[in-house]
Amino acid sequence: MTTLTRIKGYRPQQRHLPILATMALLIGAYVFGAASYDAFGSGQVVLDLFINNAFLLVVAVGMTFVILTGGIDLSVGSVVALSTVVSGDLMQKHGWSAYAAIAVVLVIGALLGAGMGALIHFFEIQPFIATLIGMFFARGLCYTISTEAYSIDNPTIATLAQTQIPLGGELHISISVVVALVVVLAAVYVLAFTRFGRTVYSIGGNAQSAMLMGLKTGRTKIAVYTISGFCSALGGLLLVLYKSSGDPLNGVGLELTAIAAVVIGGTILTGGSGYVLGTVLGIMVLGIIQTLITFDGTLNSWWTSIITGALLFVFIVLQRLVTRRTR
C-alpha cells in the first residue's frame, strides 16, 4: 500500500464490495431455488444458464471494456442483429461456406466498432451519441438486407449448434459456452496482465491524467470500441447457433441487458473499476432470476425486468457509497 492510499484512508477491499454482493446474491438465489424446487438443484440447471446466455456473456464482455473507460455502447444489440442477418444472407442466398460468412461478420463488427471509436476520439463526440449513430446505422442495414426473420439451414451451423460437450454423467455444455469462456479468459488476461488493460483502467479513472502520463488514450479508446463491436458480432453468431435463424429484430434492448449485467457485476459506470469475472456473475444473476420465474410458473416474464431494475438501483447506490468512502 502506498503512502498516498494510507493518507486517504483507502482500503483496497472496499472496491470488491459490489462484486462480493453480486456473488452473495447469486448464491442466495441458487440456494433459494434449490430449496424451493427439486429439479433446480441439478448441476445441468447451472450449465443451462451458460448455454442460454453464452451470446449475451460475450456481448457483455465487450461492454465491460467500454464501461471501464467511462464510455457506453448502445449499438451492441443492433450489431448482434446485423450479424445474424448478414451471416444468414451470405449462407442462405449466396451459398457461402459457414466459416467464410463467420469471418466476414466478425470483420464487419470490428469495423463498426472502430468507426464509432474513431468518432469518439477524433471528433470528440460523446460515446452516447456516437454509439447511438452506430445503433441506428446497424439496425437500418439489417432492414435493407431483410425485413423479416428466416431460418438458416446450413449443415455446418446445424452441426455446431447440435454438438454437446459431455462433462460426465448427464451434464453437458454447448460449443457456444466454450467460445464464451475463451472470450472471458482472454479478456481477464488482457485487462489484468497487459499494458493495454492498465491503460483501459487509467482512462476510466482519469482520462486527462492518463494522457499526461503519456499513455496512448486515443488508440486505446478506438481499440476498446473495436473489441466491443467484435464481441457483438461474435455474440450474434452464437445467437445464430442458439436460434438457427436471422432476424432484423434480434437484439432489441440487448444493450440495456448487457449494461445491467456489467453494472450488477460490480463495474462502476463512471469507469476505472470493475472485473470481467464480475460481469460473468452479473449474467448468471440475470439468468437465475429468469430461471426462478420459469420454475415458479405463476409469474409473468416481465417480472424479470422489474427485478433487474430493482437490482440496478441497489447496485448503483452501493457503488456510490463505495466511491464516496474511497475518496
**Domain spans of the chain?**
15-325
pLDDT bucket at 327, cuts 50 / 70 / 90: low
pLDDT at 251 > cutoff 60: yes
User: What are the angstrom distances between the C-alpha of 241 and each of 52, 56, 260, 293?
Assistant: 11, 13, 24, 25
Pairing outcome for strands 171-174 and 164-168: antiparallel
Query: Which single residue is written with the C-alpha cell 467484435?
Result: 230
pLDDT at 8 > cutoff 80: no
User: What are the angstrom distances between the C-alpha of 148 and each of 92, 153, 170, 247?
Assistant: 14, 16, 38, 6
Average pLDDT over residues 257-268: 94
Distance from C-alpha of 27 to C-alpha of 43, rounded to nearest angstrom: 14
Average pLDDT over residues 310-324: 80
For 44-69, how does the pLDDT look when each residue is reduced to its tens digit (9 = 90+)? 999 999 999 999 999 999 999 999 99
What are residue 173's DSSP bridge partners?
Answer: 165
pLDDT score recorded for residue 321 = 77
pTM score of the predicted model:
0.93
For 271-300, how does the pLDDT look when each residue is reduced to its tens digit (9 = 90+)? 999 999 999 999 999 999 999 998 888 878
User: Judging by beta carbons within 10 Å of its beta carbon (0-12, 13-18, 19+), is residue 95 exposed, middle or buried?
Assistant: exposed
Please report how the helices 98-122 and 76-92 are oriented relative to each other, as an axis angle in degrees rounded to 10.
150
The CATH-assigned architecture of domain 15-325 is Orthogonal Bundle (1.10)
Average pLDDT over residues 127-146: 97
CA within 13 Å, CB half, 81: 29
More confident residue, 24 or 325: 24
For 211-242, how does the pLDDT look when each residue is reduced to its tens digit (9 = 90+)? 999 999 999 999 999 999 999 999 999 999 99
pLDDT score recorded for residue 317 = 85
CB atoms within 10 A of CB 11: 13
The percentage of residues in the chain with a pLDDT greater than 70, rounded to a whole number, is 94
Phi and psi (nearest 5°) for 123? -105, 0
pLDDT bucket at 142, cuts 50 / 70 / 90: very high
Residue 246: in which H helix or E strand, if any?
Answer: strand 245-246
